[in-house]
Structures are given as C-alpha cells and as structure tokens.
Structure 1
C-alpha cells in the first residue's frame, strides 16, 4: 500500500456515514457555548458511557474536562442549518436559535432527535484531538424524528418511515 496524504485520509474517512450532533456546555461564567461534532459514539450500557472527540487546542476544552457537564443534541434531518451554524465560532451563538435552559442549566436546542446530558469521566489524548468519555446522566429521545446524517462531505437523510411501515407488516 502506498502512503496517503491527509486530504486522501479525510476523503476516505468521509465514506463512513455518521450522525450529526451539537454539544453545548457552559464556560466558567455560566455562558453557553456549542459546537458541531460528528465524532460521537456509544461505549457502554453499564455504566452508560459515550465518547466524542474535540481538537486538543479547542477553546471549549476547559469547559468539557473531567467532571464538567455537556448536553449532546442529536440533530433532526431538517436541522442542517444548525450543524453549519455551530461548526464555526461565533459571538452570542444562541441568538436566533430556538432553545431553552434545561433543568441542568445547560442550553438545550429545540426539536432534536435525542438529548444526552453527560458528565466527563475521563479524557484521552488521540493525536491532534482529545477523546472525551462521558457518563450519560439524563436522556430524552424522540424516535418519531429522523436524524441528520453526514457522509462524503454532505448531509443526507434516511427515510425511517418506510422502514417502520415494512417492519410492522
């Protein structure tokens, strides 16, 4: 096998379809921040653990370290605009975004497929990223909503309604 460039690797990685999430957290002054992440994975049912990755030098890193809480939003099929909005750093990120403050104090974006309130239990170094392992503390799930999928550098959707119909026949 011949060596590959980072661009070729990125293109290869894009062949793996993934869900799209926005993770919200609070800074030391209680201000909300959010970031689009597609590196979300389930780890364990007992205890309930997930993992996600964040660039080592991300401005959000201090607010998601060990013991910090975050709210993971699984975006709904029609929420591409939210994925793009939270993919770049902005001042007052939640202006014009439909949201509320959850019981935990974290910012919750409206109309997502699922929500995982988590607390970071460990952080591992993985190349130029940190791998955040977090325990799920609370969960809200809306299975009637279809998730947003990202593959080959574009957003796609799956028609789960068809699958639900054929399974019930």
Structure 2
C-alpha cells in the first residue's frame, strides 16, 4: 500500500508544468482523430525521438501503434479552447476547427507553435498507459509564438518578454 492516495498523487503531478499538445492520427479509412496530451517529452536528438503516453484502452491506440504515423501539435497560448475540445471524444472532431491536410495526409491544426510529424518506433506498457516512443520525421517550428502551459490543473502562459529582458541583464 502506498503512503498517499491517487488524488494526492494527481495533485502532486499537477505541480509539474508541461506544454499542451494535440496529437492527430488517421484510422484505417483515413478518417482523422485527435486527442489532447500533456505527457509529451523529448528523448533524443540522434536519432530524433520523442515520447508521449496514451491510456492503454484508448480508442486511438490502434492508429498510433508501431509503424503508424501521427502529428503532434504544440498548442499556442491562445488555444485553450482546442485543448479542451480534443480532451473529450466527439464525432466529427474537426468541424469548426481551422485545419488542413499536411503533405503526409495527416490533419494539421492551424496556428500552433510547433508540429512534429512522427512514426511510432516502439510502445512500452507503463501501468494504465502505453508509452509511445516515436521518431520525428518532419517538423515545423514557429518560435515567435508562445506555447500554452498546463500547471496545477489550469492553463497558463509564459511572458517571454520578461524572460528576454532578464537574460539581457544577466552577468553570465
């Protein structure tokens, strides 16, 4: 037995600030699906690898298994509505969402901070989730856009202007 409850653990995990992503994939009939994920992390530059996790029994799991491609969108600070939209299962998820097909055929949501087109290279079991390790095969980055951050169960943003000023005045 653990010395803490699952609710206490959830609150503890919420203290770790993370970026917010939406991952899109295609089913066998080329229908697009998306899901909000905050469990995204970089792994390696050589080869270029990332990881993210998905509930073991998620309906999306068959479409992100080994060898399958998916597109990771790093959401922009103003895209809280997209994070909430893709956090729940809906039919016709992309209705009313600004998007277009990427060159790969995957669905690309407009105005994000960064995009990583990936191919799953392995899947590990991690408790009630699968840990998906994927190779980045293409990317787009918009460093002028500010990322959406999730911490303590709420969306926040960073003010890069203050950070730039602080770095300018640094004595390092």
Which moved further from structure 2: 153-162 or 39-48?
153-162
Correspondence 1:82-93 to 2 at 5 A: 82-93=82-93
Correspondence 1:122-133 to 2 at 5 A: 122-133=122-133
Matches of 2:26 and 2:47 in 1, distance apart? 24
RMSD: 1.0
Deviations 1:56-106 (A, max 9, x none): 000000000000000000000000000000000000000000000000000
SS in 2 for 1:143: coil
Deviations 1:16-37 (A, max 9, x none): 0000000000000000000000
Matches of 2:117 and 2:43 in 1, distance apart? 15
Deviation of 1:168 after TM superposition, in Å, equals 4.7
Gaps of 5+ in 2: none
Matches of 1:167 and 1:5 in 2, distance apart? 41
**Which residue number in structure 2 is paired with residue 66 of structure 1?**
66
**Which residue number in structure 2 is paired with residue 97 of structure 1?**
97
Determine whether 1:109 maps to 2:109.
Answer: yes
Number of matched pairs: 168
**Which residue number in structure 1 is paired with residue 31 of structure 2?**
31
Matches of 2:71 and 2:111 in 1, distance apart? 14
Matches of 2:14 and 2:45 in 1, distance apart? 27
Matches of 2:19 and 2:77 in 1, distance apart? 10
**Which residue number in structure 2 is paired with residue 157 of structure 1?**
157
Where in structure 1 do 4 or more consecutive aligned residues deviate above 4 Å?
Answer: none
